[in-house]
Amino acid sequence: MRELEAMDHADPEHAADQLHLLIEGTLMMGAPQDDRHPARAAHDLATLALGWGGGSWR
């Protein structure tokens, strides 16, 4: 949540909760449909949700 506060996010607590659910849900899926590692898919979704674009994790 500190990172969201440092970014001056309007509602850092809510965003942190949403990101946590996003990551847990992605990890629970096992492997995404496009054969990426679940952590990579979660990272890509999180960057998109935070408005950082959809750049893929290396």
**Separation between Cα atoms, residue 6 and residue 45, nearest integer Å:** 20
- pTM (predicted TM-score): 0.53
Query: What are the phi and psi torsion angles at 20 (to 5°)?
Result: -60, -45
Residue the block writes with tokens 């965003």: 15
Q: Where are the domains of the chain?
A: 2-49
Q: Where is average pLDDT lowest: 10-14, 41-45, 49-53?
A: 49-53
| pLDDT tens-place string over residues 15-39 | 888 888 887 877 776 645 667 777 7
Residue 44 contacts residue 54 (beta carbons within 8 Å): yes
